[in-house]
Amino acid sequence: MGEQIATGGIHHLRLTVTDVKRSREFYTGLLGFDVAVDSPPDDDPSAAEAAKVLFGGCVMVRGGLLMGLRPVAPAGDRFDEDRVGLDHLSFSVSTKSELDEAVKLFDERGVEHGPITPLPGFGIYILPFRDPDNIQVELTAPMA
């Protein structure tokens, strides 16, 4: 190995959430993730072994990204990007018109969101919104 580690893209990430069912519905229903692996019920013989990896949550997939949900946050806890750790997640879309369509979908489903904002220095538009635990998520589209 050289003086640096040659990493590739992000392989997976896991979010700590307060309610895995609610978060799973948000990410599958709104952003098109599919559940790849779900925790077995507590009375399943494989539950104890699965808990060492899944922590009672699930792993979802969209394209090449695996995203886990780990339901261990205390009830009522809320995400705060001003604390150490994650600031936000950003998912790519292909065009600004997809951001316009996302705004319509968010409005139909009552998902609060910010405006589509151009960031010419980065050559992108962003559309920020929040998941059920207040984690800031963005959709990002390239400028033409």
Helix, strand or coil for residue 107? helix
The CATH code of the domain at 1-75 is 3.10.180.10
User: How does pLDDT run across 10-43, given as a tens digit for each residue?
Assistant: 888 999 999 999 999 999 999 999 999 999 888 8
The DSSP output letter for 79 is -
Which residues touch 124 (CB under 8 Å, ≥6 apart)? Answer: 118, 140, 141, 142, 143
Which residues touch 7 (CB under 8 Å, ≥6 apart)? Answer: none
The CATH code of the domain at 87-144 is 3.10.180.10
Q: What phi and psi, each to the nearest 5 degrees, are found at residue 18? A: -90, -30
Q: Which of 24, 13, 40 is nearest to 133 (CA)?
A: 24
User: How does pLDDT run across 65-114, given as a tens digit for each residue?
Assistant: 999 999 888 888 988 888 888 899 999 999 999 999 999 999 999 999 99
Which strands sit side by side in the sheet containing 89-92, from one edge to the other? 89-92, 136-142, 124-130, 117-119
Helix, strand or coil for residue 59? strand
The DSSP output letter for 41 is P
